[in-house]
Structure 1
C-alpha cells in the first residue's frame, strides 16, 4: 500500500475552501442518494430484497477504490482527480433511472463506491497534508463537520423531494455537478507530494487488533444503517418525512459526539472507550424494544448514530497511537480498508433480519445491531482488561 507522507506546499498556500465547499455539496448529494437507492427500488420495480446486495456492492467498490486511488491522484493531481471522481459518481446516478434492472444497479453502485473512495482520499489528503499537527487536527474537525452536516441535510431530501421517479435522481445529479464548481472555478493550490512509504504485510499484522476490529464493526454498522435502515423504516409504515427525520437524527447524533470523543480519548483507554461507545449502541437498541413512540425512536437512533460514528475515529486513533509518524497515513489506509470490508459484509449479514420491520420489537435490524455491538463491547472490555493487566505486570 503506497501512501503520501509529506508535501512541499505550505498549509497557508493550499487553502481549504475548495475541498471543503466541494465536500459539503457532495455530502448533501451522497446523504440523499444513500436513502434514495433502497427506497426507490419499488418505484423501478426492483425487488426490495436486493437492497442489501446494492449496499454491499457499493461498499465493495469503496474497498476496491481504497487500494487503487493514490496512483491516480499522483498522476492527475488533487484538483483534476476530485472533479473526475465527482463526474464518475454523477455518471452512475444517470444510469440508475435509465437502466432500471438489478444487474445494472449492482454495477452502478460498485462503480459509485470506487468513485466515493476517490473523493474521500482526495479531500482527506488535500486537507490533512500539513506540517503542523494542530493544523491537521483543526482541518480534520472541519472535514468531519462538513461531511456529517452535509449528510444530515441530504437525508431531508427524502421528505422534501421524494423517492419516486426521475426527479430525485436529477436533483442528486445537479448537486454532484455543483460540487465540481469550486475546484473548476477557484484557483487554490492543492498540495504537492514528494515522498512515499509502504507498510509491509508483517507491519500490517502488527497493528493494534482492537483498532482493526473497531473499524470492521464500524463498517458493519454504518453500511447497514445507510444501506438498509431507510427500507426498514419504510416497512414500519413510516412516511418519507418521518424517515428523513430519523435518518437525519442518526447523522446528527454522529456529529454531536465527535468533540466528546476527542476529549474522552485523552482521558481513558481507547480500547475501553470502544467498549463504552459499543455499549451506548446496545442501550440505544434497548430503547426501541420498550416502545414504538416516534420521539423515543428518534432519540434511540440518535444514540445509535453516536455509537456508530464514534467507533471509526476512536479505532483509527488507537491504531496510530504508538506508530512512528512516517507510518500514520499508511495505517489510516489500512483502517479504511478494514472499514470497507465491514461495510461490504454488514448489509449482507443483516438481510435476514430485515424480514421483520422495526415496528416489531422482537426482530428487525435492531436485533442485528444489538448482537454486533454487544459482542464488540464484550471483546473490547476483555481486551482493555488484558491490556491493563499487562501494564500492571510490567
Structure 2
C-alpha cells in the first residue's frame, strides 16, 4: 500500500457500522419509551439524550491518540465492546444515576466508533472518492438506524428482551473487525491539525456540523416521545421514526453526487429549505401518510447536512489529517447535540414546540448558508469549495 493512499478494505467498517446502526437506532428510541417499565421518571428523557451527546463531545477530543496507538481495527473492537457493556450495565442496575452514567460512557464510545469509521473511509486522495465513501457510510448508518426504528413495533419496548436484542446486534457488529483483520489504514502517520489550519477550515463546514447536532440530538432524543404522546400517531411511532431515518438514508446518494458538482454551502441551504417545507408539512398533517412523508423530508434535510459539511472541511486537507479532521467535526456536531435537546425543551410551552424548534434552526441556517454562498460567488472562488 502506498504511503498516504487508502486502497484499504472498507468492508470491515461498513459491515460493522451497519449492525451497530441497527442496534443504536433501536436503542435510541427504546430508552425513552421503556423508562416507565424500569421505574425511571419520564422527565429524565432530555437529560439522557444530552448526557449521551456530552459524552460524544468529550470522546471526540481524545479519539485520535487511541487510533494512532491501537490502529483502526482494534480501536473499533474496543469502542463497540464498550457500548455493549453500557447496555448491560443499564439492565443490571436500572437506576437513573446508573443510566445517566452509562449513557455518558456510551456517548464517548460512540464518538470512537464514528471517528474510526469516518476516518477509515475518508482516507482517500480523491475528493470524489471521499464523497462516495461518505455517502456509503451515511447510507449504512441511516439504513441500519431505520431498521432499528422499525424494530420497536416488532420487538416492543417492554421488559429486558429488547435490550438483549440490542446486545446481540452489537456482538455481530464487533465480529466484523474481529474476523476481518486485513485492510485497515496506516494509523501511525496521522497528524494533528494545527491552529493555522483550523483558521482556514470552512466556516460553513463548522456551522453545518453544529446545526446537524442541533437538529439530530432532539430528533433522536425527543421525537419518539413527541410522537408517542400524540393521540393521532402514537401507535405509529416506530414507523414514523423509521420514516425520518429512511429519508436520511435515501438522500445520501443524491447529496454525495451533488456535493462534487455545486457549492456545498448552497447545497446545505437547499436542504435546509427542504427541511422548512417538511416542518410545515408536519404541522399541517391530517393523516399518517402525510405525516410520514413530511418526516421523510425532514429526515432527508437534517441528515444531509453532516456529510456535506465534513467533506467540505476535508476538501483542502491531506490524508494524514483525516482522523484529526473527523475528530474536530464530530466535536462540532457534539456541541450541537448536547445543546439541542436542552434548547428544544424551551419551546415546550407550545403543543408542537419540538417541531417549531427544528423549523427555527433550519430557516436560520438556510439564510446563513445562502449568504455564505453568495460571498463565495462574489469573491470569485470555486463553488466546490463551499
Q: TM-score, normalised by structure 2?
A: 0.91
* Separation in 2, partners of 1:7, 1:154: 38
Evaluate the alpha carbon distance shift between residue 303 and residue 24 of structure 1 in structure 2; reply closer, same or farther with a 3 A threshold: same
User: 2:60 aligns to what SS in structure 1?
Assistant: helix
Does structure 1 residue 230 correspond to structure 2 residue 219? no
CA distances 1:130-152 after superposition (whole Å, capped 9, x unpaired): 45666544433332222121111
Evaluate the alpha carbon distance shift between residue 79 and residue 320 of structure 1 in structure 2; reply closer, same or farther with a 3 A threshold: closer
Q: Is the CA contact (8 Å cut-off) linking 1:8 and 1:191 kept in structure 2? A: no
Which residue of 2 is the match for residue 388 of structure 1? 377
Which stretch of the first structure deviates more once superposed, 124-133 or 289-298? 124-133
CA distances 1:7-27 after superposition (whole Å, capped 9, x unpaired): 759755x42333222211111
* Separation in 2, partners of 1:236, 1:279: 26
* Separation in 1, partners of 2:320, 2:72: 21
Which residue of 2 is the match for residue 206 of structure 1? 200
CA distances 1:35-82 after superposition (whole Å, capped 9, x unpaired): 111111122222222211111111111111111112112222322222
Q: Which runs of 5+ in 1 are unaligned?
A: 1-5
* Separation in 1, partners of 2:298, 2:251: 11
* Separation in 1, partners of 2:364, 2:17: 34
Which residue of 2 is the match for residue 243 of structure 1? 237
Select the residue among 227, 239, 262 that pairs with 2:256: 262
Does structure 1 residue 275 correspond to structure 2 residue 269? yes
CA distances 1:272-326 after superposition (whole Å, capped 9, x unpaired): 2221111111110101222331111101100000110111122223333445665
Which stretch of the first structure deviates more once superposed, 383-392 or 295-304? 383-392
Which residue of 1 is the match for residue 384 of structure 2? none
Does structure 1 residue 298 correspond to structure 2 residue 287? no
Select the residue among 121, 129, 142 that pairs with 2:136: 142
Q: Is the CA contact (8 Å cut-off) linking 2:131 and 2:260 kept in structure 1? A: no
Q: Which runs of 5+ in 2 are unaligned?
A: 382-386
Corresponding residue pairs, total: 381
Select the residue among 370, 375, 385 that pairs with 2:364: 375
Evaluate the alpha carbon distance shift between residue 181 and residue 9 of structure 1 in structure 2; reply closer, same or farther with a 3 A threshold: farther
Which stretch of the first structure deviates more once superposed, 278-287 or 14-23? 14-23
Which residue of 1 is the match for residue 324 of structure 2? 330
Q: Is the CA contact (8 Å cut-off) linking 2:119 and 2:323 kept in structure 1? A: no
Q: Is the CA contact (8 Å cut-off) linking 2:127 and 2:315 kept in structure 1? A: no
Evaluate the alpha carbon distance shift between residue 10 and residue 327 of structure 1 in structure 2; reply closer, same or farther with a 3 A threshold: closer
* Separation in 1, partners of 2:185, 2:361: 40
Q: Is the CA contact (8 Å cut-off) linking 1:7 and 1:194 kept in structure 2? A: no
* Separation in 2, partners of 1:367, 1:342: 17
User: 2:182 aligns to what SS in structure 1?
Assistant: coil
Which residue of 2 is the match for residue 3 of structure 1? none
How does 1:154-165 map onto structure 2 within 5 Å?
154-165=148-159
Which stretch of the first structure deviates more once superposed, 306-315 or 76-85? 76-85
* Separation in 2, partners of 1:193, 1:330: 11
* Separation in 1, partners of 2:257, 2:184: 31
* Separation in 1, partners of 2:258, 2:200: 25
How does 1:190-201 map onto structure 2 within 5 Å?
190-201=184-195
Which residue of 1 is the match for residue 110 of structure 2? 116
> Over aligned residue pairs, what C-alpha RMSD do you find?
2.4
Which residue of 2 is the match for residue 153 of structure 1? 147
User: 2:189 aligns to what SS in structure 1?
Assistant: strand
* Separation in 2, partners of 1:37, 1:180: 22
Q: Is the CA contact (8 Å cut-off) linking 2:13 and 2:177 kept in structure 1? A: yes
How does 1:14-25 map onto structure 2 within 5 Å?
14-25=8-19
CA distances 1:144-169 after superposition (whole Å, capped 9, x unpaired): 22212111111111111111211111
* Separation in 1, partners of 2:68, 2:320: 18
